[in-house]
Amino acid sequence: MSRLHFLAGLLALSLTVGCKAQPASQSSQDLAQNRRIEVMVRSRFNVPQDYNVAVGVRKPSQIPGYETLPITISRGSHSTQVDFLLSTDGKTLARLDTFDLTKDPAFNIDVAGRPIRGNPAAKVTIINFDDLECPFCARMHETLFPSTMERYKDKVRFIYKDDPLTAIHPWAMHAAVDANCLAAQSPDAYWAYVDYLHAHGQEINGPDRNLAKSFAALDRIAKEHGATAKVDGAKLDACIAKQDETQVQASAREADALGIDGTPALFVNGERINGAIPEPQVWMVIDRALRAAGEEPPAAPQPPAQAEGAGR
């Protein structure tokens, strides 16, 4: 655990105050060691000066060669106890964190009913929390389609989730709602719409950045893609007119719970990618996930051969 995350966890706690037993009298050697431990904890985890750090009494641990050493960190009437590990020779201080692998939210993202692009039975799933007005999302989308999809073919599947950053992208929510109206009837129409918006964001903005005109353009383009896919036009029109944000808001809350604070944010079989990173780095993560799933990644593309005499 990083120093900042460790300290943040301590600062966030506001625990019930209780009486605590005082340790028995200690030798000068013990006091000197406890002082060394206190200074180390303060230094390594940036504990503010107005916090008290009290070293407790060693207890048996489940780790061979180590004892559990409780350390209480407090300020005013609030305190919390953190268990460290101290080697039996008193020379090494350690901190052990445990994580419930069954409850990692990155492995439990709700993708029920979302349109799938690629092989629905693929062993590697790439989930992208996307904002349809975001230029960095457009760049990542361009990385994924077509080159990444063509490279991995039936070895992967792509699923997009909504995370419109409405504070800076005023038509992103409207676009996500329209996209979901298409998804309800035709995954192909959904993907065609997403492709179009990521390629023509400036067209949606318009020269005067009039939001009403942007909304009208989004609706028009959605209906055009719906007509091409031969969806139920009346049903699509009603969905677009209603502008029900419920599904989009639920996805955005899930993004918040995952700690996502910007888009795009990808999860490749649980491994997170933040931002629009270069294509080779995306492929490294996908290759890693494929190998973990027991599949060999496709061979790396060969660089184009230089013409004879080039570069001389």
SS3 label, residue 182: helix
| Alpha carbon distance 160, 261 (integer Å) | 17
In a domain, 307, yes or no: no
Amino acid symbol at 258: L
Total domains in the fold of the chain:
2
CATH of the domain at 184: 3.40.30.10
Give the chain's length. Answer: 312
Dihedral through CA 113, CA 118, CA 121, CA 122, nearest 10? -120
- Note whether 132 and 236 are same-domain residues: yes
* C-alpha dihedral sign at 185, 187, 189, 190: positive
One pLDDT digit (tens) per residue for the chain, 312 residues: 444 445 445 444 433 333 444 445 567 888 889 999 999 999 888 888 889 999 999 999 989 999 999 999 999 989 999 999 999 999 999 987 777 888 889 999 999 999 999 999 999 999 999 999 999 999 999 999 999 999 999 999 999 999 999 999 999 999 999 999 999 999 999 999 999 999 999 999 999 999 999 999 999 999 999 999 999 999 999 999 999 999 999 999 999 999 999 999 999 999 999 999 999 999 999 999 999 999 999 997 777 666 555 554
In a domain, 311, yes or no: no
Instruction: Spell out the residues 6+ positions from residue 112 whose beta carbon is closer than 8 angstroms to its own.
Output: none
Which residue, chain included where needed, has tokens 């999860």?
Answer: 267
- Note whether 13 and 150 are same-domain residues: no
| Alpha carbon distance 5, 224 (integer Å) | 48
C-alpha neighbours within 13 Å on the C-beta side of residue 141 = 26
| Alpha carbon distance 228, 30 (integer Å) | 79
- Note whether 66 and 139 are same-domain residues: no
Amino acid symbol at 138: A
- Note whether 193 and 247 are same-domain residues: yes
- Note whether 83 and 148 are same-domain residues: no
Q: Which has the closest alpha carbon to 260: 151, 155, 106, 154?
A: 106
| Residue finishing a domain among 40, 61, 94 | 94
- Note whether 140 and 263 are same-domain residues: yes
DSSP 207: T
| Residue finishing a domain among 74, 94, 114 | 94
Structural domain harbouring 268 = 105-292
- Note whether 274 and 163 are same-domain residues: yes
- Note whether 202 and 236 are same-domain residues: yes
72 burial (CB, 10 Å; 0-12 / 13-18 / 19+) is: middle
Contact 128, 118 (CB under 8 A): no
